[in-house]
């Protein structure tokens, strides 16, 4: 299968900018992506756009054509919604559109505007990614849901809050040189353990922030890249998607992520690689326990061993397989609809040697991006490789 080239990528800074609209944020990200790619806007044949809570945060549906207009593109546009995996799913469909020969150039990305809702409003909006009838009405929020997953993990495999704290410390350290990151501040294990509890065993520093931001990618076919002489050394060579039951009480597992395992197996097979080939990963660490579950689902750590990976240095910047060199959702931020596309942008930059943390993966050829929705009822995994 022909690889799909990442011709350009654009990110806004992630953070707290309640005065900016979603269309303003996506216009900025897409402008950066086009400038990075060297692709003309008129060559775009489709726009795939991820967004989760636009109806709640901006009273705005039908966002596909609106965001195409903001990007300065006249092409059919579709909005994708899969909770926090919205733009991961959008990227997957963009890959298929190009592979199938139906398009040579696709603009894909996503945006979320969240901070204008305030903490209570954003928490309520995020909660609708859970089962309203059986979870939300009972008072379930995502900190509570992931706390239950953490408790289940500790009960089944061992580990403790200190193991999770090392995940937070690692990702904050990785975010320090990343100008797009929301939190560029160093923290210690003691800071994490002494922070206010959110939902036991998770505390304030185990949780990602509420964020505003946008991400955009210009993806092209191999033929288009060659014909136009594009400098696009990184390609998406594998894509996978998995699913699980929505509500936690209906799951076969609380301490595993079957949807992510399915997605990674499909993506690895699609790319013709396996977990041992992965040099660097960006995973969906909305909470510290989520990174632990993700690296096990991706096969980067054995089941039950992920809790010690950051503490023992296996996933740190100088470890065997660095994870979340961007700072992850934990420190870079999590504007929900933008996250999946932003992870692709980070891996592409790391592999191309243009990321502020590329020094830690010099010579790396293979990376993965893992994007999850809700409590991982949906998940996408993409394999990126350096292609001569």
**Is 84 a known active-site residue?**
yes
Alpha-helix residue ranges (DSSP H) falling in 176-287:
189-194, 222-227, 258-271
Q: How far is CA 347 from CA 127, 281, 355, in A?
A: 29, 7, 9
- CB 257 within 8 Å of CB 140: no
Partners of 382 in beta bridges: 239, 369
Q: Which of 166, 172, 334, 355 is an active site residue?
A: 334
DSSP symbol at 26: H
Q: What are phi and psi of 338, to 5 degrees?
A: -90, -15
- CB 276 within 8 Å of CB 343: no
Residue with tokens 């893992």: 370
**Is 370 a known active-site residue?**
no
Spell out the long-range contacts of 64-70 with Cβ–Cβ below 8 A and sequence spacing 24 or more: 66/23, 67/22, 67/23, 67/26, 67/111, 68/107, 69/23, 70/23, 70/24, 70/26, 70/27, 70/30
Record the tokens describing residue 295, joined without a space: 């690296």
DSSP symbol at 274: -
CA–CA dist 330, 178 (Å, integer):
13
Residue ranges with strand state E in 129-285? 197-199, 202-203, 213-220, 234-243, 280-282
Sign of the four-CA dihedral 59, 62, 63, 66: negative
Q: Which of 84, 284, 370, 382 is an active site residue?
A: 84
**Cα-Cα end-to-end distance for the chain:** 16
CA–CA dist 315, 261 (Å, integer):
19
Catalytic amino acids? Answer: 84, 334
């Amino acid at each position: 299968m022909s690889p799909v080239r990442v011709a350009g990528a654009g990110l806004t800074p992630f953070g707290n900018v309640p005065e900016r609209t979603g269309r303003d944020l996506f216009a900025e990200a897409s402008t950066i992506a086009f400038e990075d790619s060297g692709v003309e806007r008129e060559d775009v044949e489709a726009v795939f756009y991820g967004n989760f809570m636009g109806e709640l945060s901006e009273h705005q549906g039908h966002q596909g054509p609106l965001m195409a207009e903001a990007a300065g593109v006249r092409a059919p546009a579709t909005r994708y919604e899969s909770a926090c995996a919205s733009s991961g799913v959008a990227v997957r469909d963009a890959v298929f559109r190009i592979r199938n020969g139906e398009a040579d150039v696709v603009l894909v990305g996503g945006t979320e505007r969240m901070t204008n809702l305030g903490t209570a409003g954003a928490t309520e909006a995020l909660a609708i990614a859970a089962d309203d009838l059986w979870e939300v009405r009972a008072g379930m929020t995502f900190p509570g849901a992931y706390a239950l997953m953490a408790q289940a993990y500790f009960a089944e495999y061992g580990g403790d809050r200190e193991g999770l704290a090392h995940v937070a410390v690692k990702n904050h350290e990785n975010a320090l040189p990343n100008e797009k990151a929301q939190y560029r501040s160093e923290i210690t294990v003691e800071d994490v353990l002494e922070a206010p509890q959110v939902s036991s065993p998770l505390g304030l520093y185990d949780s990602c922030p509420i964020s505003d931001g946008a991400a955009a990618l210009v993806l092209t076919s191999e033929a288009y890249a060659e014909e136009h002489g594009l400098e696009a050394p990184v390609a998406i060579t594998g894509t996978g998607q998995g699913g699980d039951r929505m509500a936690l009480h209906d799951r076969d597992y609380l301490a595993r992520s079957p949807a992510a395992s399915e997605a990674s197996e499909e993506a690895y097979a699609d790319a013709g690689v396996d977990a041992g080939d992965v040099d660097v990963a960006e995973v969906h660490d909305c909470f510290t326990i989520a990174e632990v579950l993700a690296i096990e689902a991706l096969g980067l750590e054995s089941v039950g061993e992920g809790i010690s990976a950051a503490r023992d240095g296996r996933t740190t910047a100088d470890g065997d397989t660095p994870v979340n060199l961007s700072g992850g959702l934990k420190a870079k931020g999590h504007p929900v609809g933008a996250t999946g596309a932003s992870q692709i942008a980070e891996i592409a930059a790391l592999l191309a040697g243009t990321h502020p943390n590329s020094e830690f993966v010099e010579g790396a050829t293979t990376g993965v991006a893992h994007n999850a929705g809700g409590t991982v009822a949906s998940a996408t995994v993409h394999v990126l490789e350096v292609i001569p």
